[in-house]
Chains A and B, each alone.
Chain A
């Protein structure tokens, strides 16, 4: 039989070092697999692999040591089990995310739900070069969104209600960006230093710090590999219903600006962040273009 390796890669079958042997990659969203899916993975690993499952750095699961002759049978079983294989090659990869607001004490946004939306919209889509998306529900960045071609970080915007403030200075102490300074017994916020993690809001004994808005910072051009680069902020306080469009714009900008062999990081480095941001902005996707235009005037560098 002739083997179309590109076709196999699309379906998450990666050629192993050994002849006619493959690693089968499975798709997980935000690193969650149900107990039922895990039991089925275990069965597949016993039947077609060597009885173990490899957990990948991007929250996926892989079964190594699958023989090419078993491809058809295994593929059938995977489908019957309701599992989906992952992807590799020049495509939008598995969306990585932290648990987020649903369970994490620090979570500001629902990164799991956001990951599901993004996965639904973009997973497996062919792009000029592999493109990874990562989401974190707060600036602690546990899921390392800045390492991804496209990253999203949940943020919250604080404002001081002066009448409520008792001048205890706790917010100054707990601010990780050293953005708050006590002046004449009252806190003053330097927004340029604010990390938007909301410690002032969650710590204030009298609720003098309030939330004005929350959303996502959009990072573009992160990658690891041999020459690691951290993503840079391209938009601030995207609302949940704006995320898909912003990511679509980013991918489209990359498709137009990217040259052969470039990741988003390389394109951003070549054309400059401002030019890339402009390209994200000018794309004619209906609705909200005027609003997001002002959001692009980022204070966070």
Chain B
């Protein structure tokens, strides 16, 4: 899969619900439509909730990558 051009990066590994999603949402709102946000998040509750909330807000997840104990998401602003 071709790598995407990342417009911004957000590390929400220190955060818990609902701040994880709130930060992601606010960051996405700063981007232009079609731009990519890179998000680093923990396994467990954040990976359970952030992707589907992001999807529910009309953004597109273009990559899910498992790193050591955490995940890297690339989200395209919808």
Interface, chain A (partner B; CB < 8 A): 105, 166, 168-170, 173-174, 199, 202-203, 205
Contact = CB atoms under 8 A, between A and B. Distances in A.
Contact of B61 (A105, A169, A205): A205
Q: Which of A166, A168, A174, A203 has the most CB of B within 10 A?
A: A203
Interface residues of B, number: 17
A174 B55 contact: no
A169 B1 CA distance: 15
A205 B56 contact: no
B60 A205 contact: yes
A199 B62 CA distance: 18
A174 B49 CA distance: 8
Contact of A173 (B47, B61, B62): B47
B72 to A, nearest CB: 11
A174 B48 CA distance: 5
B78 interface: no
Interface of B: 1, 43, 47-48, 51-53, 55-56, 60-66, 71
B56 A170 contact: no
Contacts of B65: 168
A173 B61 CA distance: 15
A105 B64 contact: no
Contacts of A203: 48, 51-52, 55
Contacts of A174: 47-48, 51-52
Contacts of A169: 64, 66
Contacts of A105: 53, 56
B48 A202 contact: no
A105 B52 CA distance: 10
Contacts of A199: 48, 52
24 contacts: A105-B53, A166-B1, A168-B63, A168-B64, A169-B64, A169-B66, A170-B47, A170-B51, A170-B64, A173-B48, A174-B47, A174-B48, A174-B51, A174-B52, A199-B52, A202-B56, A203-B48, A203-B55, A205-B51, A205-B55, A205-B60, A205-B62, A205-B63, A205-B64
